[in-house]
Structure 1
Amino acid sequence: MPSASVRRSAGQISGEDIVVEAAWLYYHDGLNQNEIAARLKVSRATVVNYLQEARERGYINITLAAEPFTNHRIAHELCGMFELRAAYVLPDGAGGELEQFERAVRGAANWLPSLLAPGDRLGVAWGKTIYDTADQIEPVTIPDLEVIQLVGSMATPYGFSAEVCSSNVARKLGAKCVNLHVPALLSTPQIAAMLRKEAIIAAQLEAIDRCNKTLFAVGSCDHDSHIVTSGIASHADLDWYVAHGAAGVLCGRFIDAGGEPVRGPLDERMIGVEPTALRGKQTGLLVSVGQEKTVAMLAALRGGYATHLVTSRTTAEHLLSLAERAETAA
């Protein structure tokens, strides 16, 4: 809530004060909308508008405690199966996969600040999941936090680039941002090698090595996945990697079912974090939703890239079932 005082005298409350007053009565004093309307001598619809305006102005920050989402049975099963330190599992709701996705990114945005500490170096991946997570983070300042872009820039069908993902996370967390000012994929390995040696690019790649925490999603190896629609891989490239064991995509790189990198014709042309450099972090926060993502999620979890997971209940159930079937088959 803002610190500006609210006039409570018998006179008419107006302007910004009435928005603050309505928000205070609703969120702090616990009055319902009809009671507030009577108190302020306005209609209930006007109260609804005041509350919406308060949220849009950033006067209201609504957060949910992590414990109810990390302490139930499925969360504990995920931690036991994949040696995670914590899993944040959101209820599905009634709106299908889109609602599950929206809830997951809100959950990740709510949880992320509590997983960070002053002095951390947070590596941030790319994609719609990360972009939407950044959009949902409530502004907060974490002292001496550095946010580092993990993958170079690429085209995207969503209207944003990789550097926007990292920049938005940094802006919401009051952090310094280190962007990677180079394309994710170059036309030849020789050009990529030359760019890696440029002083500014070399310094940005060194910053990636300093990350102690990461925020990332995983992509599937389907032909409509982000790795193809962003222009990183052609359909023929995707088929080559799948034929050589690829099961998922992590920060633009292909990994197999055990989480090991699948090296191929694109890798020497790429600039960004190597999958093996994402292992062993203090925190690796994986955010993914959807049955079509469970094969890739399982690969990332087996590979040891994640210490924390945010997903939906249905996705969690599919993931556990997939892992159990794989264990039985082995």
Structure 2
Amino acid sequence: MRMASRDDALFVEAAWLYYHDGLNQTEIAERMRISRASVVNYLNEARTRGWVRVHLDSDVFRGHRLAAELCALFGLTDALVVPDDPLDPEGAAASVARVTRTAADWLPRLLEPGDRLGVSWGATIYQMAQQVPNAPVPDLRVIQLLGSRPAALGFAAEACTAMLAQRLGGECINLHVPLVLSNKALRDALCDEPVVREQLEALASCNKTVLACGTCDADAHVVRSGIVTSDSISDYRAKGAVGVICGRLIDVKGQPVVAEVEDRMIGVTLDQMRGKDMALLVAAGPGRAAPAKAAIKGGFVTHLVTSKRIAEDLLETAP
């Protein structure tokens, strides 16, 4: 984040009066001898530039009745349930933004010096990473959990990892290999390279993770990124696949549904994703209740951030 310059003085003054001194917009307009509309614009600009960050106390969401019920039913360590946007009835963009913002605020408080944080990929994780505050954690390692794959909108695995490492002041360990190779022999040979072997050992050592669980529909991220085809994802759904964790398919119990591509993939395995000290699942958007439930039942989740709508779906479809 860049430092404010003399040309930014009006933005800084308006933000200080509003957030620090507690003046309302009309009082600020009178004090600064500008219009109230200008005050609104200055405050919006200050927030857009990241100079002001409104923090919501996670204890409010943790104490939500639905959060307590989720923890009791699924054995979660903790959960935050975010209210849905009333103008977003389908639980799409606006509600996703609320969930990712809450997860971004919560994540730094779940980390401790010396942690090794494994990072998944996808639009949800990328959106969350963009909103994580600058909150350095001493001796933190932030580790890419799966190889690289072209992704729309820039939310490739390496981008998610690098952004979180920058925000959290951690050492970034990227996995400098493709996610999918053309054949198993090439995949095995590449994994035997010393530098790759060292990176794979690092991801296996993660004690904490942040992840999303994708869907298995025709528009799923694994389909759009070319890991599996739209025809094959339909076949895997018929075999019971309901969710995707780091490119690997799981059924309703969180057990593997092995895809043909898996012996050509380089990245964390499902076994390596289980049993973490902390595993934060960010579940947001339409169709995410079933994948989230599968991830929880499979032992991939200790902490959950989700919306009211998804929380209710999880509870209604239990066990």
TM over 0.5: yes
Residues 1-330 of structure 1: matches in 2 within 5 Å?
A: 15-96=7-88, 97=91, 98-323=93-318, 327=319
Deviation at 1:3, TM superposition (A): 10
* Distance across 2 between alignment mates of 1:263 and 1:283: 26
| Contact in 2 for aligned 1:291/1:318 (Cα 8 Å) | no
* Distance across 2 between alignment mates of 1:254 and 1:79: 24
* Distance across 2 between alignment mates of 1:48 and 1:217: 35
* Distance across 2 between alignment mates of 1:256 and 1:167: 30
Once the two structures are aligned, what percentage of the paired residues are identical? 49
| Contact in 2 for aligned 1:180/1:205 (Cα 8 Å) | yes
| Contact in 2 for aligned 1:69/1:90 (Cα 8 Å) | yes
- After superposing the two structures, state which structure 1 stretch, 49-58 or 183-192, moved more: 49-58
Q: Which amino acid aligns with 2:311?
A: A
* Distance across 2 between alignment mates of 1:78 and 1:238: 30
Deviations 1:182-241 (A, max 9, x none): 111111111111111111111110010111100000011111111101111112331332
* Distance across 2 between alignment mates of 1:60 and 1:290: 27
* Distance across 2 between alignment mates of 1:35 and 1:251: 51
| Contact in 1 for aligned 2:250/2:257 (Cα 8 Å) | yes
- Which segments of structure 1 move beyond 4 Å, counting only runs of 4 or more? none
| Contact in 2 for aligned 1:156/1:231 (Cα 8 Å) | no
Show the counterpart of 1:7: none
Shift in alpha-carbon separation, 1:41–1:219, aligned structure 2, 3 A = same
CA root-mean-square deviation: 1.7
Deviation at 1:292, TM superposition (A): 1.2
| Contact in 1 for aligned 2:248/2:259 (Cα 8 Å) | no
SS in 1 for 2:80: strand
Deviation at 1:266, TM superposition (A): 1.2
Show the counterpart of 1:9: none
| Contact in 1 for aligned 2:29/2:36 (Cα 8 Å) | yes
Deviation at 1:267, TM superposition (A): 1.1
- After superposing the two structures, state which structure 1 stretch, 262-271 or 161-170, moved more: 262-271
TM-score, with structure 1 as normaliser: 0.91
* Distance across 2 between alignment mates of 1:157 and 1:18: 38
Deviation at 1:158, TM superposition (A): 2.6
SS in 2 for 1:215: strand
* Distance across 2 between alignment mates of 1:184 and 1:265: 14
| Contact in 2 for aligned 1:123/1:214 (Cα 8 Å) | yes
Select the structure of larger CA radius of gyration.
1
Query: Structure 2 regions of 5+ residues with no counterpart?
Result: none
| Contact in 1 for aligned 2:242/2:250 (Cα 8 Å) | yes
TM-score, with structure 2 as normaliser: 0.94
SS in 1 for 2:276: coil
